[in-house]
Amino acid sequence: MPQTSTPRILALANQKGGVGKTTTAINLGTALAAVGESVLIVDLDPQGNASTGLGVMRRPQQRSTYHVLMGEAELTDVIVSSGIPRLDCAPSTMDLLGAELELSEISRKTYRLADAIQRLEANPIARRYSYILADCPPSLNLLTINALSAADAILVPLQCEFFALEGLSQLLKTVDRVKGSLNPKLSVQGVVLTMFDRRNSLSEQVAQDVRSVLGDKVYQTVIPRNVRVSEAPSHGKPVLLYDHECAGSQAYIRLASEVIRRERDLRAA
């Protein structure tokens, strides 16, 4: 089994909403678990789409990543199984909406997630994960900063649309700032082009532009726009379980092997 002692922590971040962060967290996580990795998805978005998309029920009194960040619970208290082997989720609740303000008043406000993950790793009876994927909200707020401060690397989903590159420079500047002040180990795992539409020449143009700017930081794998991908969450299932054969599922399987390859290269370096 490709188990490692310390988990690789990847933050799925982009301050734009609707670019495929959550879809990528769910389906990359599922594809990694399918090849034997042990995966935890940490839902940091108050909307909780990663939790519901994995079929994890959100209940009013439930403790969530909010309580972990506020120091009222440990990750082990909130982690639930997705029902998929080797794939767990630390769900979010709407409480997270208030976290930004509340966090700003407590100590180590940017390291709350990093500290919680460290305590999880130090817990001898906690499950060991080889990948922790943090699904960020569509903002560069303290929740996203917590993910970037905890992460080994950021994975950026970028939608193949006209303004794709707009905002990316701001995101990469934030990455540099976090690297400079909060988390020197932070790197860019890669940029994944999402919702690629073959019939739309704009998609191809955007993909070319992004590759010419970012070079091999962009994964070879492109996630196509695929109706099965958008249907799957309403069934509380990753698309890989909803329709294993569809183009979206196959793309996420290829993305997972690229991510694993990059991790191996990084470790060997």
* Residue 20 binds to ligand ADP (criterion: CB under 6 A): yes
Cα–Cα dist 196/204, whole Å? 8
* Residue 22 binds to Mg ion (criterion: CB under 5 A): yes
Q: Which of 248, 253, 256, 260 binds ligand ADP (CB under 6 A)?
A: 248
Cα–Cα dist 258/181, whole Å? 29
DSSP 86: T
Q: CB of residue 248 vs ligand ADP: minimum separation in angstroms?
A: 5
* Residue 223 binds to ligand ADP (criterion: CB under 6 A): yes
Cα–Cα dist 268/263, whole Å? 9
Cα–Cα dist 69/256, whole Å? 28
**What is the number of the residue whose Cβ is closest to Mg ion?**
22
* Residue 41 binds to ligand ADP (criterion: CB under 6 A): no
Q: Which of 10, 11, 19, 21 binds Mg ion (CB under 5 A)?
A: 21
* Residue 233 binds to ligand ADP (criterion: CB under 6 A): yes
The one of ligand ADP, Mg ion, none whose footprint includes residue 248, by CB under 5 to 8 A per kind, is ligand ADP
Cα–Cα dist 175/51, whole Å? 26
Beta bridge partners of 103: none
Q: CB of residue 266 vs Mg ion: minimum separation in angstroms?
A: 26
* Residue 19 binds to ligand ADP (criterion: CB under 6 A): yes
* CB of 65 closer than 8 Å to CB of 44: yes
* CB of 44 closer than 8 Å to CB of 11: no
Size of the site for Mg ion (CB under 5 A): 4
**Which parts of 170-189 interact with ligand ADP (CB under 6 A)?**
none
Helix (H, G, I), strand (E, B) or coil at 241: helix
Q: Considering beta carbons, is residue 133 or 260 the nearer one to Mg ion?
A: 133
* Residue 241 binds to ligand ADP (criterion: CB under 6 A): no
Q: Considering beta carbons, is residue 7 or 53 the nearer one to ligand ADP?
A: 53
Name residue, tokens 């678990």.
33
DSSP 96: G
Q: Which pair of tokens denotes residue 11?
A: 């933050």
Q: Which pair of tokens denotes residue 231?
A: 């249907």
Q: What is the contact surface with Mg ion in residues (CB under 5 A)?
A: 21-22, 45, 49
Q: What is the contact surface with ligand ADP in residues (CB under 6 A)?
A: 17-23, 49, 138, 194-195, 223, 225-226, 229-230, 233, 248
